[in-house]
Amino acid sequence: MENATFPIEIFCLIIDNLAKHRPNLQRCSLVCKAFVPICRHHLFNCVSLRFTLDVTRERIAKLAHFLDRDPSIGSYIQRLRASCHSGADYRNAYGPGALTPTVLTALPSHIPHLRHLSLLAWRGGMDYSRCRTEVFGLCMLLDHFLQLQLQTESLQTIQLAGIDDLPMFDILSVNSLTDLTISNCNVQSNVPNVPSIHTPAPSTLDPPELRIPLNGTLKSLYFFSVKNLDSSMFFFISGLENLSIGKTTFADTTPLSPLSRFAPVEPSFNHLRSLRCWGDVDWSRLSCFAAAAGKKAFPVLNVLTMEGGYTGGHVLLDNINVKTLSEIHLRDRALFFFFVQAVLLKLVLTFMTKEFAFKRDPLAFRDLMVRFGASLKMFTVQRAGNEYNEDIPEAVCNALAAIQGRSMLESVSLSLSYPFPFPNQQPDDNTNFAPSLSLSEWRRLADNLSNQSNFPNLNKVTIGIKFHSTNAVDKSSVLIDTFKHLWDEPLSSLMGHSSLGLDLKVKLEQDDY
């Protein structure tokens, strides 16, 4: 194409495709002067700073002076990621007098379009109130960027780790923020003055007008190992849709903060669709505003994921609208018995622990299904790993038997795994495995599911069995073939059912260590 010319937009697309190859971008910058700003858009899109003892202060100073000399470069920076091992490390390396204060103060102002801020102290030991003015680093950057957001409103995501005395309400005041992640942090125990948020005076307003959200853009919150959290903060987040919270403690506000007098306006989580929680969570605190209004705290929740232990579980269930809940994911054996109580369209149970609680009480799940299981449409049980599953078939049989004849169940899916060979058995030992595999319970389950009067809406049954071996496996051996057909007889009633689709897969896999 001799003498061909292309509009600059074509070259923009070409350069966009080279964005992951920085050397190529640098070469493009040398081809044409018009390509320079296009390449800079990618080259300076993300900046990473590591505040460690082996990184010289001069390198940080060089970046600050570089942005000071050419402010246009800072306009390309959309992501800033800064990290250090611990507060003590970077105080020693970047303490007072290490860099020019004026340059440091100007550094955030040269990044006017920052969208994603990540400040991580991996080992903690950092105090925001003390370090933000004394030491150049994470806390000072956070303080300056929060001040800048009062004018620019560009930050969309913030990730913080290992910083204590965090100004939570200052962070929530970033009106452009959509995603906030905080882990291993302590939070300041200060609540904003009500008059500064609710104007005019509350006494002159009707109740629906009292609540003016501090943040209307925040959609996702992730809290892990956060201490001293004030539950009233959720009162100022009107559009929260996703909440992940674990190992988090709340400030002891007894009596509750003055903001509680506005509680009757509406629930704190009026738009929450997905809730993931693990560890200890005080649901009474999170539900207090809705309780004062006589409403459910989670009225439109769709997906509930529970991992590990918890406190106040009955309060959580009481505050969920089971008519909107469509999925529940459980990853702890102790939680299983409690949270299957909801009337669900879809129930997904994932067991990740080595022990299985049904061996203690195989009827525990049945008792819950008697009360709440009749409206289930999808029943799924998954068990990963190489541990025994011999208790699961019996528990599933008891559970489904409890709702037969009054069930809306449309599909059943069981996915289990077993170690191979079994303990005290050799790979070439052609033993009767029926007792260990609970084949009699599988037969009982098949007979129950194949009876159309028990489950008139059932149209699909999926069963996946995996055997895991740490030894080399000869898949052509007679024993392997025997394993693949162990379920043929127990599930024969399902296999011969013309209107019911059975998908049975038995596999043997060799683990790689």
Question: pLDDT tens digits for 305-349?
Answer: 777 544 455 677 778 876 787 776 655 544 444 444 333 444 545
Question: pLDDT tens digits for 135-174?
Answer: 677 888 898 889 888 888 889 999 999 989 999 888 988 9
Question: pLDDT tens digits for 167-225?
Answer: 988 898 898 999 999 999 999 876 554 433 333 333 333 333 334 446 778 999 999 99
Tokens 């990540």 found at = 118
Helix (H, G, I), strand (E, B) or coil at 479: helix
Average pLDDT over residues 20-45: 57
- Please choose, from the candidates 372, 359, 360, 307, the residue with its C-alpha nearest in 3D space to the C-alpha of residue 336: 307
Instruction: With a cut of 70, say whether residue 443 has pLDDT above it.
Output: yes
Rounded distance between C-alpha atoms, residue 61 and residue 126, angstroms: 22
Asked which of 46-50, 125-129, 336-340 is least confident by mean pLDDT, the reply is 336-340
What dotted CATH number matches 46-188? 3.80.10
Average pLDDT over residues 366-376: 64
Domain layout of the chain by residue ranges: 7-43, 46-188, 326-513
Q: Give the DSSP per-residue string, 94-114.
A: H-TTSS-HHHHHHTGGG-TT-
pLDDT for residue 394: 81
Instruction: With a cut of 60, say whether residue 289 has pLDDT above it.
Output: yes
Q: Which residues have CB under 8 Å from 396's CB, separation 6+?
A: 381, 414, 441, 445
pLDDT for residue 129: 80
pLDDT for residue 365: 59
Rounded distance between C-alpha atoms, residue 246 and residue 280, angstroms: 7
**Cα 429 to the chain's mean position, in Å?**
45
For residues 16-51, b (16+ Cβ closer than 10 Å) or e, as one string?
eeeeeeeeebeebbeeeeebeebbbbbbbeebebeb
pLDDT for residue 181: 96
pLDDT for residue 343: 39
Q: Which two tokens stand for residue 187?
A: 């939070």
Average pLDDT over residues 117-145: 80
- Please choose, from the candidates 197, 320, 321, the residue with its C-alpha nearest in 3D space to the C-alpha of residue 262: 197
Average pLDDT over residues 386-393: 66
Question: pLDDT tens digits for 228-281?
Answer: 888 878 877 878 999 999 888 888 754 444 444 444 445 568 899 999 988 777
Q: What percent of the chain has pLDDT over 90?
A: 9
Q: Which residues have CB under 8 Å from 320's CB, separation 6+?
A: 296, 298, 301, 304, 342
Q: What percent of the chain has pLDDT over 70?
A: 58
- Does residue 229 contact residue 164 with C-beta atoms inside 8 Å? no
